[in-house]
Every structure is written in structure tokens, then in C-alpha cells.
Structure 1
Amino acid sequence: MMAAPVKMRIVFGDDNAEKLTIESGMPKSVEDLSNEIKRQFDIEGDIRLQYMDSDFDNNFVNLNQISDIQDKSTVKVISLSDVSQGCLNQSCEDTSSSSDTIILSSPDSVTARSQWPTEFKIPTFPYDVEMQLQSANQAFMSSRVFLNPSHKLKSDILESLAAQIIRFKAYPSNLEIESVAEALIKAHPCLREQGSSSGYYGWKISLKYKMANYRTKLRNLGCPEMRINSLKNKPADKCQPAHNIKKPRKAEVNFCPPYPAGETLDSLEGERVSLLSEVQKRHNNAVIKEKMAKTFAYRRQEVVRDQPMIAEFKTRWPGLFTVPEVEAEFMRITTVPLVTTFFAQLDNHADQLQRLLKKTGGSKGKKIKLAFAPTAQNETVEKKRECLLRALCIYLNEDPSSLFKEYLDSDGCAAQRDLDHVVFGIYSINVEGGDATTIPADVGIVIEGVGVLHDLGDLSSACALLMGVIYAVNLSYPQELKTFFEVLQKIFLQLDATRLSTKVQMLKNKLYE
């Protein structure tokens, strides 16, 4: 019997949704549904699907199994790569949701980067190289004869690999270089080294040197990410090559991108000045969004190169310090949706994490129990998330009071005096006489004594947006909260999730028990 057709509402943005009809019935997997959406709406590139989860007040969470949806469900599409044609590029450009699509300063540029892949794909080499490798692979399969590549052949292979690596990172880690070398001998077993236990140690070392030479080549061509590390851009009293290397340290994809094609320093400065007047106008989000995307590379180079103070930077770029633009900037830098990813992973681990935290004994256990006490009066999702984050901080032997600052609305002047001296924190202004069910009068983020965001609603949302601010202005994590923020980055935002400190690795192991 032929399956009945199914219909779904496909959301591409706040004001953009389409009807999807699948005549053959419900797809067998999430991947099949993704392919059908891409086919019907002419979408290119990778996408992620989310569905409305009734357990979380119909908020969107990632769709991991097809059984979570049914006929007439609502499914949201999030682009994970640059989109050149089709619905996401044409009909979504007027939406106000800055976290749904990746907005780069130069979306069609070949210099736009992507997150490091789970499995590195070896590129197609030049025609003459592919011919030699094909012949050598056949000889290896038939008679187990290894290839001893000539100097030119090895150089051509390394050059192609470096060109592929630079699409993801200019400064790959040791493990990432190793993953490329391992992928190379898997794709071309004739290149395996007989003298090394792994079979690729020599390729790994050669690739490290090649990447260093490739960065020098790009720096001479004017690549901003490498140019800022040249000797002439270092302090006169500290002119060593290794001094203060400015490079991605928190899995940033577009750390210091080049200007968009056709744009110059003067033209982008003109756009920045124009933005100062645009942010004063009401109902002007579309124009601000467009100009912020256009000036991303200019703003990013300023942040990385000059490391301005927050007060100065906020004066120059007031349009950045809104919730939509912080989310959009994070997306441009990392290609990962900020709030949806953060809450999806936090909620996914919530039950196991809560069980783990409540097992803790001693004085730490007592503090964790107090951190969870408000949930007895207020069982909302927001309060549970907030208490979970506070308790997690305690579990990691870090003090939540160094991050979360609480004040009463009746003592506004004293609160402001205190916040003027806070270097890094999230504040909440609580209603005097209220209890755990009372909504705070204000929740916000303060950096270097400057309020950068306010009216955030709850502390868990503020935590997510604080990560966005950290990336947007290229801040380091405070030393006293370093492990807590590593968990937020690597477990909840899944950025650089394979390189964990010992403490965070132990936590992750327990979450998956």
C-alpha cells in the first residue's frame, strides 16, 4: 500500500516559511528529509534541521531522529555553509533572524572559511600528481610496493594539502595536522612510510613546515590574518617572531578575514560612520544588519589588530551591542548558531549533568544543593538552566559569584557604583521582596565596567550571549573561570570539542556514561 502524503511547514526565518509536500510519505531518516528539502527548495550546501519540541515550550531543538516529527510538523532550516542560489539566498535576505544564516562580509569569496571537518577530505591533486598516485596505488595493491615520492611530487602533494587546510585554519593544531597526514595515507596507501610506526610521521612533520612556509607566502600577498603577525606589526621593544602571536584560540573560523571585493579602508570607514546615524533611527534593523555584515572584516581586523578598550569600541560600533547582532557576529566568526546550539546541548545534557552534580558530597555538595534550591519554587526551564550553570561552576571548583552579580532594585546607585568596577560579569537586578518565581527587573552583561547588553531576561540566556560577546570582541576567558568557560565552549557550543583539558574531559566522560 502506498504511503499517504505528508505536509510540513518549513521555516527559513522569522518572516519566511514555505509549505513542503512529500507525496511518498514520511522520509525514513533525517538525512532523507534534508535531501528532500534541499531538492524542493533548490538549496545548496549543508543544512541542519530543528523541530518544535513541546517539552520546551515549542522552542526549536535539533532534529536527530525522524520519529520526533509527524505530518504537519514545523521544521526549521539552518544553513551550515555558504549558500549561492535558492531559497536561503533569495527569499531569506529580509528576515530579521540573524542566527539562521551565515552572514559573512564576503559570502561569495573563496577566502571564506568553514569549521574544521570531522574527517578531513583529501583534495584532488593536479592531473600529473593524480596519475602518478593512481599508478603507485595499483602497484601497492597488487604487490605491496611503496612509493618513494620524488622531491617535486612530494612538494606538489604538500602544496595542495596546505591549500586545502587554509580553507579551514591558518594555524592548525598538532592533532589537526596529524589527522591530515593520516587521511593522506588512507586515501593513498602507497604513500605510507615504512620507517615510522604510524606510517605518516614524516608527512606530519613535512606538513608542519609547509604550513609555516604557506603562511609566509600568504603574508607577503597581504593576507590580514598573517600580516598582523609580521615583525613590523609587533612592538619595537619585542620584535621576536613568537611574541604575541595573534591567531584563533577558541575555534574561530573567520578570525581576521580580508575586506570584501571592491572595498577599501576608506569605503568601509564611511560605512561605519553611516552606521552611527542608522542606529539612531527606529525600525531600521534591516539596514543595520546589512551594514554590519558588510563591515565585518573591517571591524574584525580592528578588534584583532588594535585590541581596543570596550568603552572605545562600543562608541565606534554601537550597532554591534544588541542581541541580534551579537548572535550574527558569533555566526560570522564561528559559522555556528549561538543561542540555539547552546540551549540544545545544555538541555541535552541537563538530566545527566543534574544527576552527576547532586551526587557530589562534602562542602561542595552542600553548595551545589543550595544552588539548586530555587528550583523547588520555580520549575521553569529558564530557572533550571540558571541553577544548573551555577552548580556546574561550583562542581568545577570555581566561584559563581565571580561571574554572577546580584543586586536589589531598591539600591540602584550602589549597584551602579559596583558595576563600574566589574571587569567581567553578568548582573541581575532583582525585585526587593521577590522570591525565586519573580522575574528580575534587569539582566545584563558588563565588561570593563561598561554595560554591553541589558534586558536579557534570564541568566542562562545571558551566559549564552556572553559567549557571543567574548568572541565578538576577542576576549580571553578570566583565569578564575577558565574551566567553566571551556565547558561552555567545547561541550555546549561544540567548538574545538576534541581538545579538552583533563578536568573537562573527565566531565564529558561522565556525561556520556
Structure 2
Amino acid sequence: QLSDIQQLEVKSGAFDRRTKEVHQLHIKTCEEKGNENKMAATLRIILGEDNASKLSLPNGIPSSLEYLKEEIRRQFGLTGNFRLQYRDIEFDNEFVNLTLPSEIKDKSTVKVVYLPVESDVVSLNATLQERDDCSTPCSLADTDILSSAESTSSDSSLRSQPWPLKFQIPEFSYEVQFQLEQGNQAFLNNGTLLHPSTKLKSDILQSLASEMVKYKIYPSSAEFDNVAEALITKYPCLKEQGSVTGYYGWKISLKYKMANYRTRLRNIGCQELTINSVKEKRSGMGPGPNQVKKPRKAEVNFCPDYPPGETKESLEEERKALLLEVKKKNNDQLIKRKMEKTFAYRRQEIIKDMPFIAEVKNRWPALFSETEVVAEFTRITMVPLLSTFMAKLDHYADHLRVFKKKGGTAKRNINLIMAAMDGECILVYLD
């Protein structure tokens, strides 16, 4: 509320006139400060190595960073995206990213840092992919580019993930999908089960087999159960009468379909299946014809095919080049690329020929380094080795304490180990 004196001043007009005068003085002061800020400024712009120019700003340094970048584009004819850096006196005049124009002043030095565009990265990938014989160390940025380029060329024949926890039924053809949706609707309305025709059942099994091969050539019995159960869960109209599970008949039919599908893939040259052909086993010196070479544990890429465009001869040349690269220093990234490229060749050699460890070490010395042991494990199983190992170690560490009940020398040794674990001083040695 206004006091009596203030009310009197308002009525007489004195308070209003004084407020207006003060306000006008405030506006005048702000305009003078604005004119000072809009004084012409000049910046030194570094456009590249041995390339610097002067940027004239008649109206002063813009209040927005985007306006400043637009002015640089206009005066120097720059295109594309870039960021700006300036010399910060708090860091011994080293360049740091410019986030606010107020961080610079007249006569400051500003550096233009060009950001790569997608087309540049693609062309750079193609260039680097052709330079397989490069022996210079690669930077971290080059590492990412080389890895992506290599995975495009070599990983197309590899599986990218293990068997899913919950199998997803694929989309069938329009004809099959239409019949299944009608059957589901009838089942929901009155509980009527669908009795698929021979062709419809064959089409369903064919689609399921094609989807299963993306994860495994030789699914286990439990995995057949997963697929059959997922089928009747999505399409309950396909449940079987008289079956305890409701899908036992589908499971058996799916096993036969997978066997026929493997035969077709073997006939067209799928390496994961040709290694088990009778002709291959008779010509080789391996085990008997009844022993099937297939994944036994968690292998996702057990025996992959060669990368597109590669042959046994070309990959053998890569292996010979790899023998020279392992003798050089600071060459890890190039070795990694070549090991990824020759992965299928190496797996087929190990599975088909079953060489001794000494022979493998002689032909693939890079495989016995710590880095490549971890990388090869991931290529085969698609599981990161170190992080998985550490997580499991943390999970089961408490169970190791039961061994503390032992006596004698064993107890003393275990106590030393547990003391180190309690102090979070676990040392893991990878030979």
C-alpha cells in the first residue's frame, strides 16, 4: 500500500513525473551502454593450417553464437557445419570451445573447427578400406571408421546375436497371415481350432525354419519347444487337441522341417553344413561319419562362410600379411581389422583340419595376444568376455567363502585370497 505522502505525490503528479524522469534516464543509460557494446570489433579467424583472416564486425560482436557463425560463413564463403574455439587465458591461451560470444572481445583469436558430414565419412571409409597395407598407427577416430568399414564387408555373413530369450514369430506371407487371422478370430468367437491344410502347415514351418537359422543351424530340443510354444501363443487357433503342451506335434514337424532345410542349405554350399557331409568326412582324416561338428556351448558364429568377394586364396594372402604386421609396434588396429577379415577362414581351418595348438600359434600368432583372445571370444559368442567374467565373479564371490571352513595349508591360502577380495584387490591375469 502507498503511504500518505506517496498518495499525495501521485495526486499532485510529482511522483509520476519523477518516475518518468528516472525511467527516461534509465533508457538513456541503457542506450549508451548498448552503443558501447555495438562498437566495431575485429576478430582473427583461423580457417586452417597456415590460413588466417580478419573478420570485421561493424556493429560489434553479435549477442548470439549462431549469428557470429553465420557472419563467418557469409564473409568467408564457408559451407557445412563447424564449431568455434577461442584462446582461454585461464588455460594458458589454449583453444577451448566457444559457447557464448561474451567469452571473446575485440582483437580475439577464434578458430574454425570443421565437423565431418556423413558423405565425408563414407568416402573416408572407402579410402581407408583400400589401404590394407598401411603400417602407420591409427588414431582413435580412425579406429571407429575402420571398424565400421570392416564390419560392413566381413560381418554380413556372421550372426549378430545369440538365441533370443523369447523367440519372435516372424511375419508370414499375406496368404498365410490371412488364414491365421481368420482362424484366431474364430477361436476367440467360439473356441474353434484351425486344422491347417498341408500347404498352410508347410508354409508356416518353412518360415519358422528360415527364422531359426538366423540364430542356430542345430537348435536344441528346448529351443524347438520355445519356437512351438511361441507359435501357439501368438496363434492359439493352432493348438493341438489331445496334446499335453498343445504344441508337441508342431515341435516334431518343425524338427523334420529343419532337417530338410539343412539339406537344402548343404546342397547350396553352406559351410556350417558341408563340413558334416559324408563326402567331406570320407575325404578328410577327421572323426567318423556319425560325429557331427556343430556348436556345443554358446557359439553363435561356429563356422561362418567367407565374406562376400573373398576366397580361400585371398584370405590366405591376408594371413601372410598379418604375420608381418604382428612384428611391428603400435599396430593393434590394423591387426584387429585383418583378424576380423580372416575370422571365417580361421574358423573353418580350426574346425575342419583340427590342427595342434602349436600349429595354430605358428599360423595365427596374433590370436594369442590378450586383446585378440577377448576379440575372438566376442566374434564367436557375441558376448563381451571381460565384463561378463567380472559380473559373474562378483555374483559368485560370496559362495567362495564356504571354502574358508577348510583347515591346514588350504585354509591359509584361501584366507589370503579372501583377504585380497575383501580389500577389493582382485588381480586377474590373462596369459
Match of residue 166 from structure 1 = 213
Match of residue 297 from structure 1 = 344
Counterpart CA distance in 2 for 1:240 and 1:303 is 14
Residue 373 (structure 1) shift: 2.4
Shift of the 269–238 alpha-carbon distance from structure 1 to 2, 3 Å rule, reads closer
Q: Deviations over 1:380-412 (max 9, x none)?
A: 76765xxxxxxxxxxxxxxxxxxxxxxxxxxxx
Counterpart CA distance in 1 for 2:407 and 2:231 is 49
Correspondence for 1:322 among 369, 372, 381: 369
- The residue correspondences of 1:48-127 to structure 2 (distance < 5 A) are 94-95=142-143, 106=153, 109=156, 111-127=158-174
Counterpart CA distance in 1 for 2:249 and 2:287 is 28
Question: Is the Cα contact below 8 Å between 2:401 and 2:418 reproduced in 1?
Answer: no
Q: Deviations over 1:471-501 (max 9, x none)?
A: xxxxxxxxxxxxxxxxxxxxxxxxxxxxxxx
- The residue correspondences of 1:264-303 to structure 2 (distance < 5 A) are 264-303=311-350
Indicate yes or no: 2:354 matched with 1:312: no
Structure 1 gap segments, 5+ residues each: 1-84, 385-457, 466-513
Shift of the 159–379 alpha-carbon distance from structure 1 to 2, 3 Å rule, reads closer
Match of residue 260 from structure 1 = 307
How many residue pairs are counted as aligned between the two chains? 294
With normalisation by structure 2, the TM-score equals 0.62
Counterpart CA distance in 2 for 1:303 and 1:311 is 12
**Would you tell me which structure has more helix in proportion to its own residues?**
2
Counterpart CA distance in 2 for 1:347 and 1:313 is 33
SS at match of 1:250: coil
Indicate yes or no: 2:416 matched with 1:369: no
How many percent of aligned residue pairs carry the same amino acid? 53
RMSD: 3.1
Question: Is the Cα contact below 8 Å between 2:154 and 2:341 reproduced in 1?
Answer: no
Indicate yes or no: 2:247 matched with 1:200: yes
Correspondence for 2:400 among 340, 354, 375: 354
Match of residue 257 from structure 2 = 210
Question: Is the Cα contact below 8 Å between 2:157 and 2:307 reproduced in 1?
Answer: no
Instruction: Give the partner amino acid of 1:160.
Output: S
Bigger shift: residues 234-243 or 108-117: 234-243
Counterpart CA distance in 2 for 1:238 and 1:316 is 20
Q: Deviations over 1:269-292 (max 9, x none)?
A: 110011111111111111111111
Residue 216 (structure 1) shift: 0.9
Indicate yes or no: 2:225 matched with 1:178: yes
Counterpart CA distance in 2 for 1:193 and 1:376 is 56
Counterpart CA distance in 1 for 2:231 and 2:407 is 49
Q: Deviations over 1:455-481 (max 9, x none)?
A: xxx5x443xx7xxxxxxxxxxxxxxxx
SS at match of 1:109: helix
With normalisation by structure 1, the TM-score equals 0.53
Residue 114 (structure 1) shift: 1.6
Please identify the structure whose Cα radius of gyration is greater: 2
SS at match of 2:336: helix
Question: Is the Cα contact below 8 Å between 2:366 and 2:372 reproduced in 1?
Answer: yes
Question: Is the Cα contact below 8 Å between 2:298 and 2:381 reproduced in 1?
Answer: yes
Q: Deviations over 1:128-182 (max 9, x none)?
A: 1100000000000001000111111111111110111111111111101111101
Correspondence for 2:388 among 326, 341, 363: 341
Q: Deviations over 1:184-241 (max 9, x none)?
A: 1001000000121110000001111111111111111101000000001114699998
Counterpart CA distance in 2 for 1:249 and 1:376 is 34
Counterpart CA distance in 1 for 2:278 and 2:363 is 28
Residue 370 (structure 1) shift: 3.9
Shift of the 380–293 alpha-carbon distance from structure 1 to 2, 3 Å rule, reads farther
Residue 124 (structure 1) shift: 0.6
Counterpart CA distance in 2 for 1:367 and 1:178 is 49
Counterpart CA distance in 2 for 1:240 and 1:298 is 21
Indicate yes or no: 2:262 matched with 1:220: no
Indicate yes or no: 2:286 matched with 1:244: no
Residue 350 (structure 1) shift: 1.5
Counterpart CA distance in 1 for 2:245 and 2:407 is 45
Counterpart CA distance in 2 for 1:237 and 1:296 is 22
Q: Deviations over 1:12-31 (max 9, x none)?
A: xxxxxxxxxxxxxxxxxxxx
Question: Is the Cα contact below 8 Å between 1:105 and 1:293 reproduced in 2?
Answer: no
Question: Is the Cα contact below 8 Å between 2:184 and 2:236 reproduced in 1?
Answer: yes
Question: Is the Cα contact below 8 Å between 2:367 and 2:373 reproduced in 1?
Answer: yes
Question: Is the Cα contact below 8 Å between 2:155 and 2:307 reproduced in 1?
Answer: no
Question: Is the Cα contact below 8 Å between 1:231 and 1:240 reproduced in 2?
Answer: no
Counterpart CA distance in 1 for 2:274 and 2:141 is 33
Instruction: Give the partner amino acid of 1:340.
Output: S
Residue 251 (structure 1) shift: 1.1
Instruction: Give the partner amino acid of 1:374.
Output: L
Counterpart CA distance in 1 for 2:363 and 2:286 is 30
Counterpart CA distance in 2 for 1:378 and 1:178 is 45
SS at match of 2:231: helix
SS at match of 2:272: helix
Residue 354 (structure 1) shift: 3.0
Shift of the 291–213 alpha-carbon distance from structure 1 to 2, 3 Å rule, reads same
Counterpart CA distance in 2 for 1:179 and 1:327 is 31
Structure 2 gap segments, 5+ residues each: 1-121, 123-127, 129-138
Counterpart CA distance in 2 for 1:302 and 1:239 is 13
Shift of the 237–276 alpha-carbon distance from structure 1 to 2, 3 Å rule, reads closer
SS at match of 1:350: helix
Counterpart CA distance in 1 for 2:382 and 2:424 is 26
Residue 244 (structure 1) shift: 2.1
Shift of the 309–251 alpha-carbon distance from structure 1 to 2, 3 Å rule, reads same
Indicate yes or no: 2:275 matched with 1:232: no
Residue 319 (structure 1) shift: 1.3
Counterpart CA distance in 2 for 1:366 and 1:149 is 70
Residue 94 (structure 1) shift: 3.8
